[in-house]
Amino acid sequence: MIHTTDVVIIGAGPVGLFAIFECGMMRMKCHVVDTLDRAGGQCSALYPEKPIYDIPGYPRIAAQELIDKLTEQASPFSPVYHLGAQVTAVKPVEDNRWRVLLSNGTMIHAKVIIIAAGAGAFGPHRPPLAHLETYEGKSVFYHVKTREDFRDKRIIIAGGGDSAVDWAISLAEVASKVMVVHRRPKFRAAPESEARLHALAQQGIVDLVIPYQLDRLEGHEGVLEKVIVKTLEGEEKSLAADCLLPFFGLSMNLGPIAEWGLNLERHHIVVDPASCATNVPGIFAIGDIATYPHKLKLILSGFAEAAQAAHAARAFVYPGEVWHFEYSTTQGVPKSGTGAVPVPPSP
């Protein structure tokens, strides 16, 4: 299929979703592409129930609830989603447009591309364990969709970062037993979270298996029975378990984006912080994939970048047209599903 739109947004995570709203307020229609089969990015795929505390106006909000709110906020502008598809090629064509080709054969013509792809396609760092694939999806999981899946289970969490510590604290409320395997006493998590973890360990609610590393799995037909861990000196310990959650971070891959002629710095796209424009006219980058001096990798920073990119992108969609800036409180938004974008009054 061939579509024509104003803006193609690559990435349907929180920043990409907010970019729909900002573009809509600029009277620009959007098509949104994401490799995942649903909107939400890492918030939905990796930690939907994890609380987020630094979203303005929400002292605490679950990641999936944030995605639901952002989707609702974008819905009046009738975005078109292409989920479960990857952008494989981007080429300039006539009339100052881009031809965006998707992995499913769909083609989209647009005047602007906004890349909000996090740090590109991502996947978990898998521990080097024999026959690991036999257990994946049955007893070994790389993210938690819902805590109820682990109620009354004996859980081993491997890792020492924020994800490992936060999920150990959270799952201790529903699991029959939580064991944290880490190679050293010091964790790479927020100090407050680490303190809470040690407090739970002192109360006997969580077992800290330190300093050990994963060595091998024992079970039958994907059903885990034991996890064998070892110290660097070779001392073994056998841990009876129903589930293993290895949290060793994500492996990032820019994929085809790396071949589009954009200025890259350590697998990130260099942008002008004032507009989020890349070195290629008509292509912008926002969120975690964008970099500039003193960049803060926060969702709320990405929200501000979405607004900057939308305002700068409007010149490509409506060249020569003067835009009279208005706040949303006076401009208003269309009724949900109408797609009718408010037009500012003449001066």
In a shared domain, residues 133 and 111? no
Which CATH number characterizes residue 78's domain? Answer: 3.50.50.60
- Of 202, 218, 248, the one marking the end of a domain is 248
**CA angle 294-15-94, nearest 5°?**
100
Q: What integer pLDDT is reported at residue 254 of this predicted model? A: 72
Residue 342 forms part of a structural domain: no
Residue 338 forms part of a structural domain: no
Nearest of 304, 313, 271, 270 to residue 110 by alpha carbon: 313
In a shared domain, residues 98 and 179? no
Q: What integer pLDDT is reported at residue 337 of this predicted model? A: 59
In a shared domain, residues 178 and 189? yes
In a shared domain, residues 115 and 141? no
Q: Could you list the pLDDT tens digit for every one of the 347 residues in the chain?
A: 899 999 999 999 999 999 999 999 999 999 999 988 889 988 887 778 888 999 999 999 999 999 999 999 999 999 999 998 999 999 999 888 999 999 999 999 999 999 998 765 556 788 999 999 999 999 999 888 789 999 999 999 999 998 899 999 999 999 999 999 999 999 998 899 999 999 999 999 999 999 999 999 999 999 999 999 999 999 999 999 999 999 987 666 677 888 899 999 988 999 999 999 999 999 999 999 999 999 999 999 999 999 999 999 999 999 988 888 888 888 888 876 555 555 444 43
In a shared domain, residues 244 and 308? no
In a shared domain, residues 215 and 262? no
Residue 303 forms part of a structural domain: yes
Residue 346 forms part of a structural domain: no
In a shared domain, residues 114 and 178? no
Contact by Cβ (8 Å): 262, 87: no
Q: What integer pLDDT is reported at residue 253 of this predicted model? A: 65
Q: What integer pLDDT is reported at residue 344 of this predicted model? A: 45
Q: What integer pLDDT is reported at residue 20 of this predicted model? A: 98
Q: Which domain holds residue 242?
A: 127-248
In a shared domain, residues 210 and 275? no
Contact by Cβ (8 Å): 40, 67: yes
In a shared domain, residues 180 and 279? no
In a shared domain, residues 140 and 226? yes
Residue 336 forms part of a structural domain: no
Looking at the structure of the chain, the number of domains it has is: 2
In a shared domain, residues 326 and 220? no
Q: What integer pLDDT is reported at residue 345 of this predicted model? A: 43
- Of 248, 278, 296, the one marking the end of a domain is 248
Report how far residue 292's alpha carbon sits from residue 276's, in angstroms, rounded to the nearest whole number.
Answer: 9
Residue 339 forms part of a structural domain: no
Instruction: Write the DSSP string, 62-82.
Output: EHHHHHHHHHHHHGGG--EEE
Residue 264 forms part of a structural domain: yes
- Of 248, 274, 308, the one marking the end of a domain is 248
Q: What integer pLDDT is reported at residue 243 of this predicted model? A: 97
Residue 166, Cβ neighbours under 10 Å: how many?
21
Residue 322 forms part of a structural domain: yes
Q: Which residues contact 114 (CB under 8 A, 6 or more apart)?
A: 7, 8, 9, 10, 16, 19, 23, 283, 284, 285, 286, 306, 309, 310, 313
Report how far residue 205's alpha carbon sits from residue 347's, in angstroms, rounded to the nearest whole number.
Answer: 65
Nearest of 244, 252, 204 to residue 225 by alpha carbon: 244
In a shared domain, residues 109 and 144? no
Q: What integer pLDDT is reported at residue 94 of this predicted model? A: 84
